[in-house]
Amino acid sequence: MKRVIDFSVLFLITYLSYTVFDVFTFYFFHSEWLREPAILMSFSILVAVSCYKMVDHYIFILFKRFFFHHSEQNLFTLTKLARDLTGVLDLHELAELVVNTFGDLVKLKTASFMIFNQQENVYEVVAAYGIQPAEYEKIKFAVDRPAIDTLRNYAKPLVRDQVNQSFPWKAANQIMTDFEILEASCIIPIIHEDLLLGSLNLGQRYAAKAFRDVDIRFFHDFAKEIAPIVHNAILVEDLRKNNEELAQVQSDLIQSTRLTAIEQLATGLAHEIHNPLTIISGKAQVLLLKKDKKGYDQQVEDVLKTIVKQTKRAADITRKLLMFSQGKGSIREKINFETMVNDTVALVSYQAALDDIRIVKQIDHHLPEYYGNPAAFREIFLNLFLNAVQAVEKSGAIQISVRYKSIDRLLEIRVSDTGIGIPQEDVNQLFNPFFTTRKEGVGLGLFVTQQIVHRYNGSIRVESNSGEGTTVVVQLPIDEGREQKNRQNQETDPKLESLETREPH
């Protein structure tokens, strides 16, 4: 369009010059030879050549001011952004600023920022515009991916509409697949010192206009300008991750040392206390059974019942301590979660019925095989169920679910209740030994449960707020459970089940 206007203006100037020269020579010089067509044509061409640069310059200014004013503003904004990013060292913040600015200014449907993850050896999308996090977080490209290889080798932007003309059909199809995954129409490489750090992936415009060559050149210049900034941000991110890993290793080492000491102490105390408790409880129950023959008064009978009750409580503590100190060498069997849940629910169902508590079970019938210590898993379920019943108190519901998350390869156990909930300040302390929110509680249930779960490389968390009920989530990696099948089996500590005391009615 600009060329058409250029030639139109030059034609008018040439025509006017021709006319003026013809009239001027006729009236002032009265010379016929000056009016010869060849002379007039030569003069017109000389005027056109002389005026071309000036006409082209002013028409360019006209176009720039009236037709490309918006694009010029966009380029200025992006140039300013590149300068402002110098002080940004947070990689995710930098990526978000870039994609959101491009999306808003250039009116894009989508835009994404892909960065090399050195730990996983893949290129992954860390920020996106117009794409949901659940979608773009799954996008990971191997280092030998066709689009990545092309960006690394050619160090130039890839334009979707030009791929078929620039590459053989097989390579073009592979690259086009990458374009579709990224929802991009243009991929701009971010290269620093011959290292491909990542790419800026720009989708289609809402106006359905293709990117001009000048736009792509500017986007490429922008990527070159921010490449050192991105490199610095990646170094800071790697340093942060390394510091977190180091801190976690130090914390795990300290925790492991503490737990080893606690296990040794717990084992010694449990064994030393367990035998006297068995004797005391047994003697008290024998005396109660003979109460009619001895003719005890009510006070003596109450004392004996108290002895039995408190020895049972103390025995429960020693049982938990022994369970906590039991190592990884314990017996491993295939766990039938449906049977285990049903059996454990049966133990608490009487109390739940008295308190008008409804128990709802949701267990997948096709769970994968999982191997572990049945006694340990019974302890997990019993602790979680008892906590739920005690939290509800009166008239409520408890929901128990066991399901397999195939994508994450995790076995997930959830126990939710409609109780009074737990204050947020107490949630973080629930797994500390001897911490309890109940007057008669011991504070070992969740602590022991956590240690058992960690032995299977699992995780446990509590989700609760005051007045909103509580949910305990246990996640166990299924591969870890299968590996237990091949580990050496050892007999469980016989003292775990040796104290079977019942409070007399």
The residues, ordered by sequence, that sit 6+ positions from 467 with a Cβ below 8 Å of its Cβ are 420, 421
Q: For residue 500, what pLDDT band results from cuts at 50, 70 and 90?
A: very low
Residue 351's Cα: distance from chain center in Å?
41
Q: What is the CA radius of gyration of the chain?
A: 40
Please tell me which residue, 184 or 248, carries the higher pLDDT value: 184
The letter for the amino acid at 211 is F
Does the pLDDT of residue 59 top 60, yes or no? yes
Q: What is the largest CA-CA distance in the chain?
A: 160
The rounded distance, in Å, linking the Cα atoms of 300 and 221 is 93
Identify whether the C-beta of residue 324 lies closer than 8 Å to the C-beta of residue 307: no
- Identify the helix (H) or strand (E) that includes residue 418: none
pLDDT tens string 163-220? 888 888 888 999 999 999 999 999 999 999 999 999 999 999 887 678 888 888 889 9
Domain with CATH 3.30.450.40 in the chain: 71-240
Helical residues (DSSP H) of 428-503, grouped into ranges: 445-455, 478-483
Please tell me which residue, 503 or 75, carries the higher pLDDT value: 75
Does the pLDDT of residue 426 top 80, yes or no? yes
pLDDT at site 499? 37
User: Could you give the count of Cα atoms lying within 13 Å of 199 in the half-sphere of its Cβ?
Assistant: 30
Topology of domain 330-489 in CATH is Heat Shock Protein 90 (3.30.565)
Q: For residue 18, what pLDDT band results from cuts at 50, 70 and 90?
A: low
User: Could you give the count of Cα atoms lying within 13 Å of 136 in the half-sphere of its Cβ?
Assistant: 22
Does the pLDDT of residue 362 top 50, yes or no? yes
Percent of the chain with pLDDT over 70: 71
Residue 189's CB is within 10 A of a number of other CB atoms, namely 23
pLDDT at site 502? 40
Strand partners, 111: 129, 202
- Identify the helix (H) or strand (E) that includes residue 120: none
Identify whether the C-beta of residue 228 lies closer than 8 Å to the C-beta of residue 192: yes
The rounded distance, in Å, linking the Cα atoms of 472 and 380 is 11
390-400 mean pLDDT: 87
- DSSP per-residue letters across 321-386: HHHHH--TTS--EE--HHHHHHHHHHHHHHHHHHTTEEEEEEE-TTPPP-EE-HHHHHHHHHHHHH
Lowest mean pLDDT among 137-151, 260-274, 356-370: 260-274
What does the block give as tokens for 291?
């109460």
Q: For residue 495, what pLDDT band results from cuts at 50, 70 and 90?
A: very low
What does the block give as tokens for 173?
């199809």
245-258 mean pLDDT: 77
The letter for the amino acid at 405 is K
The rounded distance, in Å, linking the Cα atoms of 384 and 413 is 10
pLDDT tens string 37-47? 666 667 667 76
pLDDT tens string 106-163? 889 999 999 999 888 999 999 999 999 989 999 999 999 999 999 999 999 999 989 8
Phi, psi of 414, deg, nearest 5: -125, 130
> Which architecture characterizes domain 71-240 according to CATH?
2-Layer Sandwich (3.30)
Q: What is the mean pLDDT of the chain?
A: 79
The rounded distance, in Å, linking the Cα atoms of 416 and 393 is 14
31-60 mean pLDDT: 67
What does the block give as tokens for 450?
């956590």
Does the pLDDT of residue 462 top 70, yes or no? yes
Does the pLDDT of residue 293 top 70, yes or no? no
Please tell me which residue, 285 or 453, carries the higher pLDDT value: 453
Strand partners, 175: none
Identify whether the C-beta of residue 187 lies closer than 8 Å to the C-beta of residue 201: yes
pLDDT at site 255? 66
Does the pLDDT of residue 224 top 50, yes or no? yes
Q: For residue 263, what pLDDT band results from cuts at 50, 70 and 90?
A: low
User: Could you give the count of Cα atoms lying within 13 Å of 463 in the half-sphere of its Cβ?
Assistant: 9
pLDDT at site 319? 65
* Closest CA relative to residue 368, chosen from 415, 335, 328: 335
Residue with tokens 């008669």: 440
The letter for the amino acid at 225 is E
Residue 377's CB is within 10 A of a number of other CB atoms, namely 23
Does the pLDDT of residue 235 top 60, yes or no? yes
Residue with tokens 């800071």: 236
Three-state DSSP class for residue 432: coil
The rounded distance, in Å, linking the Cα atoms of 501 and 505 is 12
* Closest CA relative to residue 478, chosen from 405, 376, 384: 405
The rounded distance, in Å, linking the Cα atoms of 195 and 496 is 60
Q: Provide the phi-psi class of 144: left if phi over 0, else alpha when psi is between -120 and 50, else beta.
A: alpha
The letter for the amino acid at 425 is E
The letter for the amino acid at 325 is S
pLDDT tens string 401-410? 999 988 888 9
pLDDT at site 158? 94
Domain with CATH 3.30.565.10 in the chain: 330-489
Q: For residue 399, what pLDDT band results from cuts at 50, 70 and 90?
A: very high
Q: For residue 3, what pLDDT band results from cuts at 50, 70 and 90?
A: low
